[in-house]
Structure 1
Amino acid sequence: MRGDPSDDVVRSYYRMRQALGYLGLFLPVTLILGGALSLGRVEPSISDYYHTLLRDIFVATLAAIGVFLICYRGHARAGAERLSDDRVTTVAGIAALGVAFLPNATGGGLATFSQDMLGPRVAAAGHYLSAIVFLSCLGWLSLVRFARTRDARRRRIYRACGWLTAAMTAATVAASWFKVMGPPGPQAVVNGGRLVLWFEAIAVWAFALSWLVKGRAGLPLAAALRRRRGGTPGAA
């Protein structure tokens, strides 16, 4: 029997949300462990892995996240709302691509295409701006859009993830300033403690958890659609 198209849509959204969640979950873990095993060190920030042997993982994962976010439509605007899920995720996806393809600094050797076209300073400024926009959009989604659920437990999770993303974004901005331009003492503390890396990682993990929970939220609807058309709850 032909499947219900609405069921296919629900499952497609489930898979996309789960993919976004798992990509965010494993990106910091893969970079940190991969750097420790292959390079014998942990970089001061996630962005600094662009200039290491793990560049392919850094760029490919962020590019995948960016494409998924651009393709994600979500819910339409309701009433007098100015922003839809689609608009916010598109901006976040473009920002993710900016983080991936605009290096945060010159790693030595040949410049990248973006650095060659824009100049290292402009490319680095674009990288930092893209990172702020990316995390801010994801935090807004968790706090404003996802938290509208009627499920109190999920609402608490979304709000916690949103506030954590916002707090870690602010902490990342402050720590990044000290990392690049701060006085020697605080700069040594930030770089030695890898504070930017951990602030970024926590923000990304919060975003990942939010999307993983959001993905699971659609499963009851998919099961109801299968029951309505006479299928079994566990049907693929």
Structure 2
Amino acid sequence: MLDYSNTERIGLEKQTTLRILVGVLGMLLPLLLWLLLLIQNGVQSPMDSISHYFYTRAGTIFTIIVSLLAIFLLVYKGYEPIDFILSSIAGVCALLLLYFPTSNITCDTNLINCDYIITHLNDNEIRIKFHFIMAGMFLGSLALMSIFLFTKKKGDPEGLVLPELKGEKIIFVICGLLMLLSMLIIATNCFGIFSKTEFDHYNLTFWFEVIALEAFGFSWFVKGNVFDKRQ
């Protein structure tokens, strides 16, 4: 947690603080985006995906939080070089998915108005596919960290040892698997395995992205030792 005994040090000096911030931002992102459009424009239904909030009045929040996550991931050190490598990949991918946004939003005529849409870009197939790849690499890198790196303790070269899977290790593995499963379901929808009509009708891409982000955020939150009674 934060140490106020030395006034010359910044609050983000400890990795535990950084992990907590990353976790909180990751978990709050979907809620803040939905809540902002609800308050400002009365939009109750979620967008097709979290990335589509880029085009709405909540786009500023989306850009700020994803940018903060990218910066925090880029400065994260971890215990070994592989921690820094994977977190840096996730950080770079987060910045790139912002710079290469997803497809435009189609105005829902069932809503009172479409004032919540404030940005429009000419659709570009290469940009859209690149955004999808970056989003997958972002969540994929974080899932691997949760499963294989967060299950390691400092000075523990063995890492994830299944016979010793207990306590927080179970949480990290479950969170990582939830992220991978959510990504797989979203990806398979692109190949027509599921009914696209029903998938889009129930905004399943959005909800599986929420599951992935909540799992990601919670794993980092737990890694910040917030539940460690020895703190």
Cα displacement (A) at 1:8:
8.4
Cα displacement (A) at 1:32:
1.9
Residues 1:157 and 2:157 aligned together: no
Q: In proportion to residue count, which structure has more helix?
A: 1
Cα displacement (A) at 1:134:
0.4
Please name the residue that 2:125 is paired with: 121
- Contact in 1 for aligned 2:55/2:120 (Cα 8 Å): no
Distance 1:134 1:211 in 2: 14
- Contact in 2 for aligned 1:14/1:219 (Cα 8 Å): no
Residues 1:99 and 2:97 aligned together: yes
Distance 2:12 2:61 in 1: 29
Residues 1:70 and 2:74 aligned together: yes
TM-score of the pair, normalised by structure 1: 0.75
Residues 1:206 and 2:212 aligned together: no
Distance 2:54 2:60 in 1: 8
TM-score of the pair, normalised by structure 2: 0.77
Please name the residue that 1:43 is paired with: 47
* One-letter amino acid of the counterpart of residue 186, structure 1: S
1:12–1:122 CA distance, 2 compared to 1 (3 A) = same
Secondary structure of 2:214 counterpart: helix
Listed as ranges, the gaps of 5+ residues in structure 1 are 78-83, 224-236
- Contact in 1 for aligned 2:73/2:91 (Cα 8 Å): yes
- Contact in 2 for aligned 1:190/1:196 (Cα 8 Å): yes
Q: Which has the larger radius of gyration?
A: 1
Runs of 4+ in 1 over 3 A off after TM superposition: 7-11, 106-112, 217-221
Listed as ranges, the gaps of 5+ residues in structure 2 are 107-117, 154-163
Quote the RMSD (CA, aligned, Å): 3.0
Residues 1:13 and 2:11 aligned together: no
Secondary structure of 2:57 counterpart: coil
* One-letter amino acid of the counterpart of residue 134, structure 2: S
What per-residue deviation string (whole Å, max 9, x for no partner) do you get for residues 115-172 of structure 1?
7xxx822221221010000010000001101112478310110011111111111112
Please name the residue that 1:31 is paired with: 33
What per-residue deviation string (whole Å, max 9, x for no partner) do you get for residues 154-201 of structure 1?
0110011111111111112223x26xxx59x92221111010000000
Distance 1:29 1:9 in 2: 26
Distance 2:11 2:64 in 1: 26
What per-residue deviation string (whole Å, max 9, x for no partner) do you get for residues 34-67 of structure 1?
2333242321110111111111011111111011
